[in-house]
């Protein structure tokens, strides 16, 4: 869980070139799902490359509390002995999910289809995040929820093993909402269909098939896809290899692009087409990013990425690309601050309901660092001149790991160091971030942490 101790401030200064060969932590989305599907399977699942960040550990701890046996082996693999679909039991204590919105939304789907009452909470950031988007469809299926005002945590989930299958159109492009409904449908008799008009990451669908579920995806007559799951299958445990997380790779990628003379290689990065929008955008901006040694892991395309320093030029990011890179807009904004021209990012209102209001945090932080920026309800525009941003600010991260890492990347390119108020939440998704980034720089570390003065 995210530390409740005093905030750990950090700062980044302009560095020399980034060089070297690194591997980023395992994909967070796949890590959550591998644990969940392993727990709901019959038999044993082994997971290589699991992200050992606080968010994923929150999911593991919750599943342990409900009867799944999950352990880390001496080999570094993780082993899950599952209880089968519908086989979890009521936890004896409140489930604390720390900072993990993914855990909260996906596990809500799991809990909804078990005849038990579960109490769920989280840290100061998670309890502010709305849960209505999963409560609404799961309530339609027959689960009950008792939550704080505006459908926020802490929350009681009163599940049932007699849920009704539904046909549900996801009102916003959200893989978490889609996944919550599909996870509830696993222990629901009959066929449940989810309609999504805009394609979102399909890790849940890929993993459902891999574990043995009956899943059909067809074009919907009104546009988009109809995803139909036949309930109450017997899932079977299996080996899972988790590739590197493209959302974590985004930080060394952007840092290398904006630091002159940089040339790095990032090994075995997951490049699911529904997750790789940042790569497409950076290449359109003139970024030198090569895919090498392409292959497959856990049913997902992977490749090594060679990234070299580049002169970036502003672009307008197509709004229909947002679903494939929603978590990467904060660090894209840092690249835009170092590009020539006005980079426009429309259709990103979803950023306002992440771990923080990321759109506001990015706009305010960039302005404090001397970057010209404008923001609206669902858009952001960043203007750069191709030189070094001024920097010199202390940025309030609002307990958001991606805001923290993004502004540290900006500090590596700015004229003056950039400080963040709390680096603690970085461990939720990228343990080892400081060591990896500093390890790419010859000489003095560019990133440092420090306890704030009383």
Over residues 119-139, the pLDDT tens digits come to 999 999 899 988 999 999 999
Q: Among residues 372, 374, 312, 366, which one has the least CA distance to residue 339?
A: 312
At which residue do the structure tokens 């449908």 appear?
185
**Is pLDDT above 70 for 453?**
no
From the list 55, 123, 225, 327, the catalytic residue is 327
Residue 297's pLDDT is what?
Answer: 86
Same CATH topology for 9-26+243-450 and 28-228: the answer is yes
Alpha-carbon distance of 67 to 64, in angstroms, equals 5
pLDDT at 140: 98
Rounded CA separation 436/282 (Å): 21
String of b and e for 122-145 (b: at least 16 CB within 10 Å)? Answer: bbebbbbbebebbbebbeebbbeb
Q: Which helix (H) or strand (E) holds 10?
A: strand 9-12
Cα–Cα distance for residue pair 34/68, rounded to 1 Å: 13
Whole-number pLDDT of residue 450: 76
Is the distance from CB of 401 to CB of 356 less than 8 angstroms? no
Q: What is the mean pLDDT of the chain?
A: 95
Task: Say if residues 344 and 316 touch (Cβ distance below 8 Å).
Answer: yes
Listed in sequence order, the residues at least 6 apart from 217 whose beta carbon sits closer than 8 Å to its beta carbon are 205, 225, 226, 227, 228
pLDDT value for 6: 76
Residues 109, 110, 111, 116, CA torsion sign: positive
| Residue 327 annotated among the catalytic residues of the structure | yes
Tokens representing 139? 């309530």
Helices 203-211 and 175-186: crossing angle in degrees, nearest 10, is 20
Question: What interhelical angle do 28-39 and 203-211 show, nearest 10?
Answer: 30
Residue with tokens 């990015």: 362
- pLDDT of 3: 42
Contact 22, 434 (CB under 8 A): no
Report the alpha-carbon distance of residue 11 to residue 450 in Å, rounded.
8
Residue 21, pLDDT above cutoff 50: yes
pLDDT tens digits for 299-317?
899 999 999 999 999 999 9
The total of other beta-carbon atoms located within 10 Å of residue 405's CB is 31
Mean pLDDT in residue range 402-422: 97
What confidence score (pLDDT) does residue 284 get?
98
Q: Is residue 442 helix, strand or coil?
A: coil
- Predicted confidence at residue 442, as pLDDT, reads 85
What SS3 state is found at 204? helix
Three-state DSSP at 447 gives strand
- CATH code that applies to domain 28-228: 3.65.10.10
The yes-or-no verdict on residue 39 having pLDDT over 70 is: yes
pLDDT tens for 229-247 read 999 999 999 999 999 999 9
Selected residue with higher pLDDT from 128 and 142: 142
CB 53 within 8 A of CB 405: no
The DSSP code sequence of 90-102 is: --SS-EE-TT-HH
Q: How far apart are CA 49 and CA 44, in angstroms?
A: 17
Q: What are phi and psi of 183, to 5 degrees?
A: -70, -40
> Percent of the chain at pLDDT above 90?
93
Mean pLDDT of 362-367: 98
Architecture per CATH, 9-26+243-450? Alpha-beta prism (3.65)
Q: Are 359 and 347 in contact (CB under 8 A)?
A: no
Residue 4 confidence (pLDDT) above 60: no
* Cis, bond preceding 154 (omega within 30 deg of 0): yes
For residue 99, what are its two tokens?
């900072």
Sequence ranges of the domains in the chain: 9-26+243-450, 28-228
Q: Which two tokens stand for residue 45?
A: 């699942």
Q: What is the DSSP string of 359-392?
A: HHHHHHHHHHTT-EEEE-SSEEEEEEESS---B-
pLDDT tens per residue across span 243-272: 999 999 999 999 999 999 999 999 999 999
Nearest to 211 by CA among 192, 183, 190: 183
pLDDT in tens, 365-384: 999 999 999 999 999 999 99
Backbone angles phi, psi at 143, to 5 degrees: -80, 160
pLDDT at 353: 86
pTM of the model: 0.91
Q: How many CB atoms lie within 10 A of CB 349?
A: 14
pLDDT digits (tens, 9 = 90+) for 167-201: 999 998 899 999 999 999 999 999 999 999 999 99
| Average confidence (pLDDT) over 152-165 | 97
User: How do 44-48 and 239-241 pair as beta strands?
Assistant: parallel
CA distance linking residue 35 with residue 31, whole number of Å: 6
Give the residue from 184, 181, 189 showing the smallest Cα distance to 227: 181
Q: Which residue has the tokens 């693999």?
A: 77
């Amino acid at each position: 869980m995210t530390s409740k101790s005093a905030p750990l401030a950090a700062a980044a200064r302009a560095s020399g070139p980034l060089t070297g060969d690194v591997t980023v932590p395992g994909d967070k989305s796949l890590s959550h799902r591998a644990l969940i599907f392993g727990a709901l399977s019959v038999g044993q699942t082994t997971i290589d490359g699991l992200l050992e960040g606080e968010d994923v550990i929150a999911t593991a701890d919750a599943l342990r509390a409900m009867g799944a046996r999950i352990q880390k082996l001496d080999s570094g693999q993780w082993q899950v002995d599952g209880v089968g679909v519908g086989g979890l039991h009521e936890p004896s204590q409140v489930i604390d999910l720390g900072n993990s919105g993914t855990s909260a939304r996906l596990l809500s789907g799991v809990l909804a289809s078990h005849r038990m009452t579960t109490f769920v909470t989280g840290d100061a950031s998670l309890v502010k995040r709305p849960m209505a988007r999963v409560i609404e469809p799961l309530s339609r299926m027959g689960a009950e929820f008792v939550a704080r005002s505006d459908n926020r945590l802490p929350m009681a989930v009163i599940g049932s093993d007699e849920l009704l299958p539904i046909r549900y159109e996801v009102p916003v492009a959200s893989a978490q909402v889609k996944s919550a409904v599909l996870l509830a449908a696993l222990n629901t008799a009959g066929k449940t269909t989810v309609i999504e008009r805009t394609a979102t990451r399909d890790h849940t669908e890929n993993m459902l098939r891999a574990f043995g579920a009956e899943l059909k995806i067809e074009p919907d007559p009104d546009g988009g896809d109809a995803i139909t799951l036949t309930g109450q299958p017997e899932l079977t445990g299996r080996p899972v290899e988790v590739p590197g997380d493209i959302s974590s790779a985004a930080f060394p990628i952007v840092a290398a692009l904006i630091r002159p003379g940089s040339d790095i290689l990032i090994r075995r990065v997951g490049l699911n087409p529904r997750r790789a929008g940042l790569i497409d955008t950076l290449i359109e901006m003139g970024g030198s990013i090569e895919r090498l040694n392409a292959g497959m892991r856990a049913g997902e395309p992977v490749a090594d990425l060679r990234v070299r320093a580049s002169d970036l030029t502003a672009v307008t990011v197509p709004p229909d690309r947002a679903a494939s890179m929603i978590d990467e807009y904060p660090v894209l904004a840092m690249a835009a601050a170092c590009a020539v021209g006005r980079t426009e990012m429309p259709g990103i209102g979803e950023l306002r309901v992440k771990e923080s209001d990321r759109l506001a945090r990015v706009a305010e932080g960039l302005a404090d660092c001397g970057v010209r920026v404008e923001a609206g309800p669902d858009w952001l525009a960043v203007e750069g001149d191709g030189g070094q941003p001024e920097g010199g600010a202390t940025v309030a991260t609002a307990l958001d790991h991606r805001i923290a890492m993004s502004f540290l990347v900006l500090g590596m390119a700015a004229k003056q160091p950039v400080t963040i108020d709390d680096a603690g939440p970085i461990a939720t998704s990228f343990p080892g971030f400081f060591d990896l980034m500093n390890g790419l720089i010859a000489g003095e570390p560019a990133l440092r942490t420090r306890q704030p003065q009383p």
